Structure 1
């Protein structure tokens, strides 16, 4: 199960890619969606539609040898004066969260179907998505109810900035994390 092909997409592909992204999400989050309104497919679809229209949105999808999507990751650069940091509950220096529109890439989603978990696939998709980014750093949010996921990101070099609760109905409490990005083509 290690051989996957990773394909890259941008906002021009979003409409065509949308059904596939929703299908994978519905499978990966089926159990959570049964009891958590924040995990519903409809809520995710709204978020996907918003993210995929942002300038600089990019998506990396991993496919197996049969052309079946095994997982994906997507995100976009944070705009100047981004609302991303609005729910930050930890005090940090203002310059640390000042956005220019080109400083920070927000990794919004990373998910892998069950058979492909614990195979290195998530890391490959993650690295492929971030490899060509020109931003100085990346950020992501990890639900604090998932300490194993948090530890996994730490093992990949991510550092916790603080606690953040997005201003979205039913949003859980997250760890906001940062990862310095090398310049494109440089060492990773």
Structure 2
């Protein structure tokens, strides 16, 4: 089932005003995980949010049911010589990981609040964010402790590049995934 939501687009210039909403939704969605996993803490997310919103080309979509935020997705293009793939544990040809600044869009976050899960909102947010991208491909990380999420992305056309552990304290093991762009609207 897909429900009708309004999706609004935001850029880095709007990030400071949007920050409280993004933090509130994250804190709600990850409340259970934050109790037991330091990597999921709201403080760690806030630091990451600062990093992402400062990146050139950062973009975000937020879904609203009336005036109620239901979820969001955001990311930014990977810069030239990006070290983002530095945590890859799987051997990958160098030409696959070479970044130009316009080759790859990194989908950093996609989350939906509980009442709107399993309604098609996640896919709407995903597709809306990625449809407008001009890069050749998108990439994201999926925690390997969440096989249902990994399967969901595979069903949406993503392929697994390999295993990746970010060089961050308490970081879990992730699947690094790729998707060819553009995404059909």
TM-score, normalization: structure 2? 0.98
Q: Counterparts in 2 of 1:2-81, with a 5 A limit? A: 2-65=3-66, 67-81=67-81
1:84 matched residue in structure 2: 84
Deviation at 1:182, TM superposition (A): 2.1
1:157 matched residue in structure 2: 157
1:133 matched residue in structure 2: 133
Aligned partner of residue 168 in structure 2, secondary structure:
coil
Task: Identify unmatched segments of 5+ residues in structure 1.
Answer: none
> In 1, distance between residues paired with 2:87 and 2:47?
19
> 1:39-64 CA deviation, whole Å, 9 max, x = no partner?
00000000001000100000000000
> In 2, distance between residues paired with 1:43 and 1:7?
26
Aligned partner of residue 101 in structure 1, secondary structure:
coil
Report how many aligned residue pairs link the two structures. 184
> In 1, distance between residues paired with 2:93 and 2:170?
28
Is the 8 Å Cα contact of residues 130 and 182 (structure 2) preserved in structure 1?
no
Task: Identify unmatched segments of 5+ residues in structure 2.
Answer: none
1:174 matched residue in structure 2: 174
Structure 1 runs of 4+ with >4 Å offset: none
Aligned partner of residue 99 in structure 1, secondary structure:
coil
> 1:117-157 CA deviation, whole Å, 9 max, x = no partner?
00000000000000110000000000000000000000000
